[in-house]
Amino acid sequence: MLKQLMKEYMIGFKKVQQADMKNPFVWFPISYGALLPFIISKKEGAIVFISLLPLTLIMLSAHMHPFGLNKMHYLCPMTAEERKKKIRQEYYFRCGLHFTMIAVFLLAVLIIRGIQLPALIYLLAIGFLYSCISNPGECKGKIAYYAFEILAFFVTWICTLTLPADGTYDKSEYIYLACVYALLLLGMIPAFVSLMKSVRKEIEQGAFYEKGAIMTKS
């Protein structure tokens, strides 16, 4: 099953042109990050840039690999329940892959320069929420995805700006930052719930061509 899911995910790379790459938010984090070294100090800019890199990769991945079925899938011998299961698996696979990317990146940062616990927890939590972004293709519910992407980006951006260059905080900043992170995460929960509702709807409706088909783009 994992092999099949990976195979289908890899197919996404072969049809990059087909993916919805017009969404400017895909490119926003990386372009913003690339400009930072010229705006703020090189060191801080580089940190922010590197911090935003995995998020950009996830956004690219989400947009290259929309989950859902095309018309041919509805003609293949599958029951509605099997189609639903397939869409759900595709979605979970993408979430897992994206979270692994974030986790590996954070591990690397942890080894190279160290991250204090509140920031690590915060980044992991944000990473998890971010990993759940997946492009619904031509289906409804795009607004929820885009709104979440923008929100997630700005919240992450605020976090990266508060990361000290040497990886440690002053003791006076420690509690203050932990509270800020907690508040930011709490603020994201309604958007995340809305996104999850949209995902559930996509999966339910995706089982039926009339309700949720992604037409192969010509």
Partner 1 sequence: MIVFSGTDKKLGSFRLQDINFEIPEGYICGLVGRNGAGKTTLLHLLLGLFQPDAGEVQVDGYEYGSNEKEIRKLLGCVLVDELFDRGLSLADNAEYFGSYYEAYDAEIYHKHLEQFHLLPKRKFKELSKGEKLKCQFAFALAIRPKYLILDEPTANFDPEFRDAFWKILKDFIADGAHSVVLATHLTDDLDRMADRLLFLDKGKIQFDGDMEHFREKYRILSGETYLINLIGKERILGMEEGKYSTKALVKNNGSRPYPEGLAEAAPSIEEFMYLYSKGGGDKC
> By the criterion CB under 8 A, which residues form the site for partner 1?
7, 11, 14-18, 70-72, 74-80, 82, 208-210, 215-218
Q: How far apart are CB 53 and partner 1 at their closest, in Å?
A: 26
Q: How far apart are CB 78 and partner 1 at their closest, in Å?
A: 6
62 vs 69: CA distance, rounded Å: 15
Q: Rank residues 102 and 139 by Cβ distance to partner 1 and give the closer one.
A: 139
Q: Rank residues 172 and 218 by Cβ distance to partner 1 and give the closer one.
A: 218
Q: How far apart are CB 65 and partner 1 at their closest, in Å?
A: 12
Closest Cα partner for 66 from 5, 149, 18, 136? Answer: 136
Q: Rank residues 33 and 206 by Cβ distance to partner 1 and give the closer one.
A: 206
Q: How far apart are CB 214 and partner 1 at their closest, in Å?
A: 11
CA 179-162-119 angle, to 5 degrees, is: 60
**Residue 61 exposure: Cα atoms within 13 Å on the Cβ side:** 26
165 vs 142: CA distance, rounded Å: 36
Q: How far apart are CB 70 and partner 1 at their closest, in Å?
A: 7
Residues 107-124: b if buried by 16+ CB within 10 A, e if exposed: eebeeeeebbebbeebbe
Q: Rank residues 14 and 171 by Cβ distance to partner 1 and give the closer one.
A: 14
Closest Cα partner for 206 from 84, 82, 25? Answer: 84
Q: Rank residues 41 and 216 by Cβ distance to partner 1 and give the closer one.
A: 216
DSSP H or E run through 82 = helix 80-112
